[in-house]
């Protein structure tokens, strides 16, 4: 299956150099290093070389060579995967195919509310290009300054805008893909409606590079919000969050741009660990929601909408207290309380992280049940629950008990994860809501995914990548 | 490949009867007839029997039998396909698998904004069940009183709500599918986020029953609009429609629920042929738009939004005149002008229909070019262009010249279609925007779809339906 003899290795290397030139190859250890380790530092891999093609045509020739010579390929964008999806294995037989040089914004069509970009464009640069035409590209996430759009599509990225605009998958009109044998499928059409056969693009989106390489895409744009209002609200409990969200969707005409849940424990970690963090409310509460609504018009009406929503919710006992951001700085401060949770948690000792989802209506039930059961595995374990509750997506992280035995906590890590994922499975939830599978959750997927779904995935994989050269050992 | 001997045929029939019982089989010619002809009356097929299972388990056993005995299966919902997708061929070797008895609303989860229904539920009944819980299921189309949700998903139905809520594909959270060999994939999850491998559901949605049978689905619901405002506006031309739509999206915070284009020729046909139809405007214009905006709140603000939008557009010369509906009746009258176009066109002689799409920004260019080129094929041919211009989807129908030679017009039908579809292809458009492929456009698809896309479709088809029993001769 793989080539081992030195002669063949040299032949392969020469062939790749002929295609991409000297600038397109990195093969010195120090220069290769950053491409071989994943974002979280869990995996340190090895590779024959880093190949950096400059065009779709070069990607095509590289894949043809790899397919013919059975050299496995690990596609990589901004290398920000949280599941090791873009990191090669330790054996060193793979190449890393970096898309960073495919970084052109090909065109913007404001009247079609569409933008065409290459896979290596950084997410923040897609947002900027859209803004220059008074449009919004709504995909937004922590790593947007580093992550690249090809990777965002390959992992079907989520983030904070999903509630209103959908996942990455929902923002794509067309894609260009190089298949494992080097043929190029040009599906770069900017159509809102096209019922001419199977929706091939949805197969490659979220496939984490196991079926081919996305080289370019046509993305949906939206009217740019002109006004934004943000509240930090204390709730009577997680179940109040669901009811408040449902009301907010109705009252604001579905203008809810973000709805993030934060429990007291993570907030306290932030207040304790992050310099300058300040509780916006006078008293302590068990549960908070960061609520943001946005509008394409700037006529002052939005603020009133948010205030009415909150006033009614206070009257009905859903909301205990709330602060509405009075300035851009205060809005930033609110968001900082949410976004620095992972950072704060690092200072609180060992932790185990879970990126799960359940139906929105069952998020409170999930949090209650999972909190109880985790406590019965490790008494005093601290529940750091927060996240995109508007999508049913909870980052249900566990920190070791304060002053506890770290080694003992670590020894129970697998039991904790099994406990949480079992609850998720019984609630028809997902063990990976937005981070994907990669290498990190592949065994977990095999454990929870129905056999028939795994079988379908394998059949599709074999049909499209018969030699199994695309990112082997990831996902399927 | 197929069974011919009478003995085998008898064995098959007995096996099916054992599974679904006497109530589940129709095999008398007169009772079978309605299942054997398509909505437009283009195709009259034949079949061994109509099989009407009452549960997913029965569908599973029927498919297992068909797969083992190599009997091809034509799945059928409300039988409203406009492309013959649910009609058997003339040879009589197939069965029609009717899903009409799988007609339960399984559950509604208002807080998760989701509903779970079986494939045979009529679209209008899905809408009703949602409304009973103060929610909206936004898929809406002419045949909604007859079409069934399984068919809507299998053809990725479009309709008038696409602009705001997306195609059927975008409204699905989960599906249950019986695969060709009878195994059941239970993908009935109501999650907003789930990144655990390939998005299998999107493969079956829009596959027109060629990969398996959708037996149930979890659908997205939305806040129910409390207010609705509708305008019938005369425009300076088709290019003004695009600009007006773009402004409307921005000004109304993306509350545009429908944006339909109507040219003067189809409006005149309606005024001439449909009893009671009346031009809402005092003078005649070349181009009209039916614009509807909706809101979850009923505070009277919506009317003002629409009026401001129109007033500014009049000032800028985009809109020449406009009427805003003053009552529910007047709204209905406006919509009737749009919805009776196909009926009116029937009275105007022979016609050829095209369901195409181009990027929204190029709709005016398409209409201009296609109108000119059609005239050069048949001088005086009347352009009946209308449709969902907000999605770039134009129903570009052609009626024979007034007082022309019908036989001559019919003789040029293929040339006209080739002319139009060639323009669509050059504009990176779609030759089937919302009606699908079925049997009607299969050759046309083979002509226009890139070879690599057809090849990918075939590879997927073989991987999932290796014996080719699912709706053979349709789509691929």
Choose the closest CB to A223 out of B222, B250, B453: B250
Q: What is the pLDDT of residues A178-202, one digit of tens each?
A: 999 999 999 999 999 999 999 999 9
CB-based contact A185 B450, cutoff 8 Å: yes
C-alpha to C-alpha distances, A404 to A295, A396, B413, nearest whole angstrom: 47, 20, 81
Low-confidence ranges of chain B (pLDDT < 70): 1-7
Which pair of structure tokens corresponds to residue A415? 């039991």
A52-106 pLDDT tens trace: 999 999 999 999 999 999 999 999 999 999 899 999 999 999 999 999 999 999 9
Q: Is pLDDT of A4 > 60?
A: no
Q: Tell me the pLDDT band of A268, cut-offs 50, 70 and 90.
A: very high
CB contact under 8 A, B162 and A192: yes
Q: Mark yes or no for CB contact B200/A251 under 8 Å.
A: no
Question: How many Å apart are CA B265 and CA B271, to the nearest integer?
Answer: 10
Cross-chain CB nearest to A193 (options B196, B242, B434)? B434
Spatial contact of A53 and A59, defined as CB atoms under 8 Å apart: yes
> In 3D, which of B208, B461, B199 has the Cα closest to residue A459?
B461
DSSP state string for B137-195: -----TTTTT-BHHHHHHTT---TTHHHH--GGGGEEEEEEE-TTS-EEEE----S---
So what's the pLDDT on residue B7? 63
Burial-class residue A139 by CB neighbours within 10 Å (0-12, 13-18, 19+): buried
Q: Which residues on B lie below 8 Å from A191 (Cβ)?
A: 357-359, 392, 428-430, 433
Question: In the predicted model, is pLDDT for residue A459 greater than 50?
Answer: yes
Work out the number of other CB atoms within 10 angstroms of the CB of residue B272: 11
Q: What are the backbone angles phi and psi of residue B2, rounded to the nearest 5°?
A: -120, 160
Confidence of residue A18 (pLDDT cuts 50, 70, 90): very high
Cross-chain residue pair B200–A428, CB shorter than 8 Å: no
Determine, for residues A392 and B112 on separate chains, whether the beta-carbon distance falls below 8 Å. yes
Task: Name which of A439, A398, A389 is nearest A421 in CA terms.
Answer: A398
Reported as type and span, the H/E element at residue A409 is helix A406-411
Q: Using a CB-CB distance cutoff of 8 angstroms, which residues of chain B are in contact with residue A197?
A: 206, 437, 445, 449, 453-454, 457, 475-476
Q: Is B156 in contact with A195 (CB distance < 8 Å)?
A: yes
Confidence grade of residue A1 (pLDDT, cut at 50, 70, 90): very low
Question: Which pairing describes strands A25-26 and B73-76: parallel, antiparallel, or unpaired?
Answer: unpaired
CB atoms closer than 10 angstroms to residue A189: 20
**Closest among A259, A203, A197, A219 to A130, alpha carbons compared:** A219
Taking only Cα atoms into account, the Rg of chain A, rounded to an integer number of angstroms, comes to 23
- Give B160's contacts in chain A (Cβ within 8 Å): none
CB–CB of B466/A231 below 8 Å?
no
Q: What is the pLDDT of residues B83-133, one digit of tens each?
A: 999 999 999 999 999 999 999 999 999 999 999 999 999 999 999 999 999
Tell me how close the Cα of B31 comes to any Cα of chain A, in angstroms: 32
DSSP 8-class letter at A342: H
* Chain B: residue whose CA lies nearest to A155: B195
Asked if A222 and A135 count as a contact pair (C-beta separation under 8 A), the reply is: yes
Q: How far is A308 from chain B (nearest CA, A)?
A: 13
**What is the distance in angstroms between the Cα of A436 and the nearest Cα belonging to chain B?**
5
C-beta of residue A53 within 8 angstroms of C-beta of residue A102:
yes
Mutating which of B60, B141, B193, B247 best tests the A interface, going by the most A Cβ atoms within 10 A? B193
Cross-chain CB nearest to B460 (options A391, A448, A463): A463
Positive or negative, the CA dihedral A414, A415, A419, A425 is: positive
Which of A109, A155, A161, A196 would you mutate first to test chain B, the one with the most B CBs within 10 A? A196
* Minimum CA–CA partner of A208 in chain B: B197
Sort out which chain B residues have CB atoms less than 8 A from A396's CB and list them.
Answer: none
Q: Which residues pair with A355 in a beta bridge?
A: A395
* Nearest 10 degrees: Cα torsion A6, A12, A15, A19: -140
What is the enclosing helix (H) or strand (E) of A25? strand A25-26
Per-residue confidence (pLDDT) for residue B456, from 0 to 100: 98
**Contact check, Cβ <8 Å, A113/B254:** no
A101 CB-side CA count, 13 A: 16
Find the closest chain B residue to A447 by CA distance: B196
* pLDDT of amino acid B1: 45
Residues of A in contact with B391 (CB under 8 A): 192-193
Cross-strand pairs, A322 = A233
Q: What is the DSSP string of A303-322?
A: HHHHHHHHHHHHHTTSEEEE
The number of beta carbons lying within 10 Å of the beta carbon of residue B329 is 9
Q: How far is CA A460 from CA A385, A396, B67, in A?
A: 36, 32, 20
Which one of B130, B153, B166, B196 makes the best mutation probe of the A interface by having the most chain A beta carbons within 10 Å?
A: B196
Q: Which residue has the tokens 């195709």?
A: B43
Identity of the residue in A169, A179, A191 whose CB atom sits nearest the CB atom of B430 = A191
Strand-strand pairing, B213-220 and B172-178: antiparallel
Q: Which chain B residues contact residue A166 at CB under 8 A?
A: 170
Reading phi first (left if > 0) and then psi (alpha if -120 to 50, else beta), residue A209 is in left
A156–B185: do the CB atoms touch at under 8 Å? no
Q: How many CB atoms lie within 10 A of CB A178?
A: 26
Residue in B111, B193, B448 nearest the CB of A246 = B111
Which residues make Cβ contacts (< 8 Å) with residue A47, sequence separation at least 6?
A32, A35, A36, A74, A88, A92, A94, A95, A96
Q: What is the ipTM metric for this complex?
A: 0.94
pLDDT at B75: 98
Best B160, B253, B426 member to test A by mutation, with max A CBs in 10 Å, is B253
Q: How far is B416 from chain A (nearest CA, A)?
A: 20
Structure token digits, residue A221: 């744009």
Q: Which residues of A touch B153 (CB under 8 A)?
A: none
Residue A403 per-residue DSSP state: T
Question: Looking up tokens 């806040």, which residue turns up?
Answer: B223
Of B114, B195, B445, the CB nearest to A435: B195
Please state, in angstroms and as integers, the Cα–Cα distance from residue A260 to each residue in A168, A230, A335, A411, A420, following that order: 19, 11, 10, 31, 21
CA distances from A468 to A71, B220, B345 (A): 9, 36, 54
Report d(CA A321, CA A312) in Å as an integer: 12
Average pLDDT score, chain B: 95
Contact list in B for residue A476 (CB cut-off 8 A) is 197
């Amino acid at each position: 299956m793989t080539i081992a003899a030195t002669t063949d290795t040299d032949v392969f290397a020469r062939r790749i150099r002929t295609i991409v030139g000297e600038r397109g190859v990195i093969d010195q250890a120090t220069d290769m290093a950053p491409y071989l380790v994943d974002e979280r530092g869990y995996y340190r891999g090895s590779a024959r070389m880093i190949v950096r093609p400059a065009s779709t045509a070069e990607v095509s020739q590289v894949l043809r060579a790899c397919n013919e010579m059975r050299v496995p390929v690990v596609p990589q964008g901004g290398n920000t995967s949280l599941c090791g999806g873009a990191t090669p294995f330790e054996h060193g037989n793979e190449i890393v195919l970096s898309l960073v040089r495919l970084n052109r914004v090909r065109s913007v069509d404001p009247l079609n509310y569409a933008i065409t970009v290459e896979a290596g464009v950084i997410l923040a640069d897609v947002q900027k290009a859209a803004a220059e035409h008074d449009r919004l590209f709504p995909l937004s996430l922590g790593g947007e300054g580093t992550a690249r759009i090809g990777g965002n599509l390959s992992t079907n990225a989520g983030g904070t805008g999903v509630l209103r605009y959908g996942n990455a998958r929902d923002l794509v009109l067309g894609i260009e893909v190089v298949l494992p044998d080097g043929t190029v499928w040009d599906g770069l059409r900017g159509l809102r409606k096209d019922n001419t056969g199977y929706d091939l693009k949805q197969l490659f989106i979220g496939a984490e590079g196991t079926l081919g390489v996305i080289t370019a895409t046509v993305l949906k744009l939206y009217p740019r919000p002109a006004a934004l209002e943000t509240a930090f609200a204390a709730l009577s409990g997680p179940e109040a969050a669901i009811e408040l969200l449902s009301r907010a969707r109705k009252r604001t005409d579905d203008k809810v741009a973000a709805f993030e849940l934060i429990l007291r424990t993570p907030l306290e970690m932030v207040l304790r660990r992050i310099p300058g963090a300040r509780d916006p409310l006078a008293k302590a509460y068990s549960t908070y929601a960061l609520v943001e609504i946005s509008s394409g018009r700037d006529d002052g009406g939005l603020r009133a909408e948010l205030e009415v929503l909150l006033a009614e919710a206070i009257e009905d006992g859903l909301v205990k207290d709330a602060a509405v951001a009075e300035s851009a700085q205060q809005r930033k401060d609110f968001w900082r309380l949410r976004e620095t949770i992972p950072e704060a948690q690092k200072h609180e000792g060992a932790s185990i992280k879970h990126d799960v989802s359940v139906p929105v209506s069952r998020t409170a039930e999930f949090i209650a049940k999972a909190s109880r059961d985790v406590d019965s595995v490790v008494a005093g374990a601290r529940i750091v629950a927060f996240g995109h509750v508007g999508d049913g997506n909870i980052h249900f992280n566990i920190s070791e008990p304060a002053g506890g035995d770290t080694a003992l906590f670590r020894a129970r890590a697998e039991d904790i994860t099994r406990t949480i994922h079992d609850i998720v499975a019984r609630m028809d939830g997902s063990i990976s809501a937005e981070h994907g599978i990669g290498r990190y959750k592949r065994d977990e997927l095999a454990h929870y995914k129905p056999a028939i779904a795994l079988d379908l995935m394998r059949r599709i994989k074999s049909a499209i990548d018969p030699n199994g050269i695309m990112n082997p050992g990831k996902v399927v």
